[in-house]
């Protein structure tokens, strides 16, 4: 069986823009029978409407700060290192969404939608943006486990799962209440994701207002469609 499994806080460029998405990616060829399904364990069904959290994550040896506001299935705002703000807007039940990515230092606002993300090879879906995990494709194994050795204490109650592919296993402590991973630990013991604060209070509507006065506006949709 050929399998590939990675954790990544990947950076992807859109012209001069940079956005950051933290996901667990799983790619392989064929799935074993009678295993727990990703969608059963890491589910967004019945999620609470409002969620606000802060997390630290590690990418390429560097630590980063992430803050996320999630308004159910409709709106998400993500702020990374006070350098990039990402706004995504979505109609529940529709796979399509549109996104604005603000480079706060270069003062550029780039707009792009899901279809055109796929066209440039970035297969981000709404679940990725709103829940911090990427749906696996192909074979994988999800197992309910005890906390791994050396795992830090999560900020709230969560259940540990192993996501295994080939000889590599990622340990994920999933909050069934908040519908996000509270801790992710790599196979070697490195903590690559940890939520440091979390609340489910009402989020004011103006939180999702895009403040881009004086920014350069870049329509990536038009650029991609014209290629």
Tens digits of residue pLDDT in 201-220? 999 999 999 999 999 999 99
Express each pLDDT in 40-71 by its tens digit: 899 888 788 899 999 999 988 899 999 999 99
Q: What is the pLDDT of residues 105-129, one digit of tens each?
A: 999 999 999 999 989 888 888 988 9
CATH number of 3-201+212-226: 2.50.20
CA distances from 22 to 86, 93, 134 (A): 13, 23, 9
**pLDDT score, position 14:** 43
In the DSSP assignment, the letter for residue 137 is: B
Owner of token pair 């506001």: 69
Domain locations along the chain: 3-201+212-226
8 Å CB contact between 170 and 186: yes
Maximum alpha-carbon separation in the chain: 55
Local structure of residue 146 (DSSP, 8 states): P
> Out of 11-20, 108-117, 151-160, which region has the weakest mean confidence (pLDDT)?
11-20
Q: What percentage of the chain exceeds 70 in pLDDT?
A: 84
28 in Cβ contact with 3 (< 8 Å): yes
pLDDT value for 120: 87
Residues 220, 109: Cα–Cα separation, whole Å:
10
Buried/exposed 42-72: b ≥16 CB within 10 Å, e otherwise: beeeebeebbbbbbebbbeeeebebbbbbbb
The pLDDT of residue 135 is 79
Phi-psi region of 22 (alpha: psi -120 to 50; beta: other; left: phi over 0): beta
Cα 142 to Cα 131: distance, rounded to the nearest angstrom? 17
Confidence of residue 227 (pLDDT cuts 50, 70, 90): low
Across residues 80-104, what is the average pLDDT? 94
């Amino acid at each position: 069986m050929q399998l590939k499994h990675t954790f990544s806080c990947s950076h992807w460029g859109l012209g001069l823009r940079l956005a950051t998405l933290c996901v667990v990616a799983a790619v392989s060829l064929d799935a074993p029978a009678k295993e727990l399904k990703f969608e059963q364990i890491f589910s967004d069904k019945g999620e609470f409407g409002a969620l606000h959290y802060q997390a630290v994550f590690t990418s390429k040896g560097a630590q980063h700060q992430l803050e996320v506001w999630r308004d159910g299935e409709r709106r998400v705002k993500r702020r990374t290192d006070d350098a990039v703000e990402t706004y995504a807007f979505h109609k529940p039940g529709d796979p399509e969404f549109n996104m604005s990515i603000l480079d706060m230092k270069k003062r550029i606002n780039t707009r792009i939608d899901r279809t055109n993300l796929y066209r440039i090879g970035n297969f981000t879906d709404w679940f990725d943006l709103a829940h911090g995990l990427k749906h696996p494709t192909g074979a994988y194994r999800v197992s309910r486990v005890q906390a791994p050795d050396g795992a830090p204490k999560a900020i709230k109650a969560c259940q540990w799962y192993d996501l295994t592919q080939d000889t590599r296993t990622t340990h994920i402590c999933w909050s069934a209440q908040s519908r996000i991973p509270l801790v992710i630990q790599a196979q070697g013991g490195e903590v690559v994701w940890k939520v440091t604060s979390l609340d489910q209070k009402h989020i004011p509507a103006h939180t999702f207002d895009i403040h881009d006065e004086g920014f350069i506006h870049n329509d990536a949709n038009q650029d991609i469609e014209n290629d």
